[in-house]
């Protein structure tokens, strides 16, 4: 059956979402239709609105969510109707080169590649006012119902509170994994985290869980500092309080640079600052924030020649289908907290207000 439901459709860039009635087609072979129960707002969604992440329009955004399986297509074996699930914007097909390699997690089936906005078969499951509507990152969670490929959904503990664990669909896992999986922070090490949004705070939690002895949190919004300290930051600094470049401040504070640095904003100047502030020979810097479209980085290659490593991390380096159920289980065991990452809970029809709160740093 086609389901008619409400969705937040973005018709064009730099415009508010429009709450529309959409038709959601039934799942095809190896596809799953999900009733979305809770979704988070992430800066990556906002990057599409601003044009920093280029996607086709009209589109249904959203990629950090939790829900319940409504129906499944032919051949689906990993989930059944009624299961609690988290959609995965980084799928895990289990068959491509990356999925078969223990070192990587960016499945070749991801929407970040060639098929932006479409299901793996090259079509869409959404229609609005007679027009096809594009998917976002293979998930599209700003809707009452969505359709995802079976490789892009993970079954989770039925007792898990969906309004909390939806954050494991992106923000929390991305930050926490950047520290634990990508950087592999060691006990006693020194870390710097640029950007203290939900993902940056999750990096702080990951560094603390790994046993870092010093975690320096960097943000131009000092209102973020109290929460960063609550979650494990040992120092909080605002670049606007200093005359000299922030990487020089960090080199002085740490006697030669941090062991690990994380850029969790998505600005090219902070990416180079994060690289420059890590120790010249064995420092590791991880890019976690989505880089803006059409911008290039210019930097002194000596920064890398002396031995620093520069890495990127998507979804915290986790193999999604394997890791998400385990992360939910860890949350249920109280291994980590999610409540501090939730600042507001709104009815989803107020999604435009939610994005205003994001843009004003609240």
Domain that holds residue 119: 3-171+317-360
Whether 306 and 347 share a structural domain:
no
To the query of whether residue 42 is one of the catalytic residues in this protein, the response is yes
CA distance 181 to 175: 10
Whether 329 and 266 share a structural domain:
no
Instruction: Give the residue from 312, 333, 350 where a domain finishes.
Output: 312
Q: What is the pLDDT of residues 74-83, one digit of tens each?
A: 999 999 999 9
Q: What is the pLDDT of residues 98-129, one digit of tens each?
A: 999 999 999 988 877 667 899 988 999 999 99
Q: What is the pLDDT of residue 361?
A: 87
How much is the mean pLDDT over the chain? 96
Whether 18 and 37 share a structural domain:
yes
Residues above pLDDT 70, as percent of the chain: 99
- Full-model pTM: 0.95
* Beta pairing, strands 260-263 & 284-287: parallel
Q: What is the pLDDT of residue 21?
A: 97
Q: Are 143 and 22 in contact (CB under 8 A)?
A: yes
Q: Is residue 177 part of a domain?
A: no
Whether 206 and 353 share a structural domain:
no
To the query of whether residue 309 is one of the catalytic residues in this protein, the response is no
Q: Is residue 178 part of a domain?
A: no
Whether 9 and 148 share a structural domain:
yes
Which of 18, 63, 107, 135 is the catalytic position?
Answer: 63
What mean pLDDT comes out for the span 333-342?
96
Q: Is residue 263 part of a domain?
A: yes
Which of 5, 18, 47, 207 is the catalytic position?
Answer: 47
Whether 22 and 159 share a structural domain:
yes
Which of 93, 170, 277, 278 is the catalytic position?
Answer: 170
Q: Is residue 329 part of a domain?
A: yes
What mean pLDDT comes out for the span 89-94?
96
Q: Which CATH number does the domain housing residue 232 bear?
A: 3.40.50.720
Whether 140 and 269 share a structural domain:
no
Q: Is residue 44 part of a domain?
A: yes
Q: Are 78 and 152 in contact (CB under 8 A)?
A: no
Q: Is residue 305 part of a domain?
A: yes
Q: Is residue 176 part of a domain?
A: no
Whether 107 and 212 share a structural domain:
no
Whether 111 and 85 share a structural domain:
yes
Residues above pLDDT 90, as percent of the chain: 93
**Least confident window among 20-34, 288-302, 331-345:** 288-302
Q: Are 191 and 208 in contact (CB under 8 A)?
A: no
Q: What is the pLDDT of residue 114?
A: 63
What mean pLDDT comes out for the span 259-271?
96
Whether 236 and 330 share a structural domain:
no
Q: What is the pLDDT of residue 96?
A: 94
Q: Which CATH number does the domain housing residue 48 bear?
A: 3.90.180.10
- In angstroms, the first-to-last Cα distance of the chain is 41
To the query of whether residue 44 is one of the catalytic residues in this protein, the response is yes
Whether 27 and 146 share a structural domain:
yes
Q: What is the pLDDT of residues 277-334, one digit of tens each?
A: 999 999 999 999 988 877 899 999 999 999 999 999 999 999 999 999 999 999 999 9
To the query of whether residue 63 is one of the catalytic residues in this protein, the response is yes
To the query of whether residue 50 is one of the catalytic residues in this protein, the response is no
Q: What is the pLDDT of residues 142-184, one digit of tens each?
A: 999 999 999 999 999 999 999 999 999 999 999 999 999 999 9
Q: What is the pLDDT of residue 110?
A: 83
Whether 217 and 127 share a structural domain:
no
Q: Is residue 285 part of a domain?
A: yes
Number of domains, the chain: 2
Taking the C-alpha atoms of 133, 137, 138 and 140 in order, what is their torsion angle to the nearest 10 degrees? -60
- SS3 helix, strand, coil % of the chain, rounded to 5? 30, 20, 45
Which of 42, 107, 236, 278 is the catalytic position?
Answer: 42
What mean pLDDT comes out for the span 30-39?
98
Q: What is the pLDDT of residues 210-226, one digit of tens each?
A: 999 999 999 999 999 99
């Amino acid at each position: 059956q086609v389901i008619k439901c409400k969705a937040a459709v973005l018709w064009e860039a730099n415009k508010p979402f429009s709450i529309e009635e959409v038709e959601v087609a039934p799942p095809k072979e190896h596809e799953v239709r999900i009733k979305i129960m809770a979704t988070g707002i992430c800066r990556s969604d906002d990057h599409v609105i601003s044009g920093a992440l280029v996607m086709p329009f009209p589109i249904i955004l959203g990629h950090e969510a939790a829900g319940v399986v409504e129906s499944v297509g032919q051949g689906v074996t990993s989930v059944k109707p009624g299961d609690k699930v988290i959609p995965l914007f980084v799928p895990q097909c289990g068959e491509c080169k990356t999925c078969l390699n223990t070192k990587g997690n960016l499945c070749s089936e991801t929407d970040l590649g060639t098929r932006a906005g479409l299901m793996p078969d090259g079509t869409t499951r959404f229609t609005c006012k007679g027009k096809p509507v594009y998917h976002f990152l293979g998930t599209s969670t700003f809707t009452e119902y969505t359709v995802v490929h079976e490789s892009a959904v993970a079954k989770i503990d039925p007792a898990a509170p969906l309004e909390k664990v939806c954050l494991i669909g992106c923000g929390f896992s991305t930050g926490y994994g950047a520290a634990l999986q990508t950087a592999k922070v060691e006990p006693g090490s020194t870390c710097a985290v640029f950007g203290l949004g939900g993902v940056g705070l999750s990096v702080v939690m990951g560094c603390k869980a790994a046993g870092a002895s010093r975690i320096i949190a960097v943000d131009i919004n000092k209102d973020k500092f109290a929460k960063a300290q609550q979650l494990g930051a040992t120092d909080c600094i605002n670049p606007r309080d200093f005359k000299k470049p922030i990487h020089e401040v960090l080199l002085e504070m740490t006697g030669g640079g941090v062991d690990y640095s994380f850029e969790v904003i998505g600005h090219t100047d902070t990416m180079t600052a994060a690289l420059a502030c890590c120790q010249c020979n064995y420092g590791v810097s991880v890019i976690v924030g989505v880089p803006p479209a059409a911008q290039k980085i210019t930097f002194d290659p000596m920064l890398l020649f002396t031995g620093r490593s520069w890495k990127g991390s998507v979804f915290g380096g986790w193999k999604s289908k394997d890791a998400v159920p385990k992360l939910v289980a860890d949350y249920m065991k109280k291994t980590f907290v999610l409540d501090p990452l939730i600042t507001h809970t709104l009815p989803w029809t107020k999604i435009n207000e939610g994005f205003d709160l994001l843009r004003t740093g609240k």
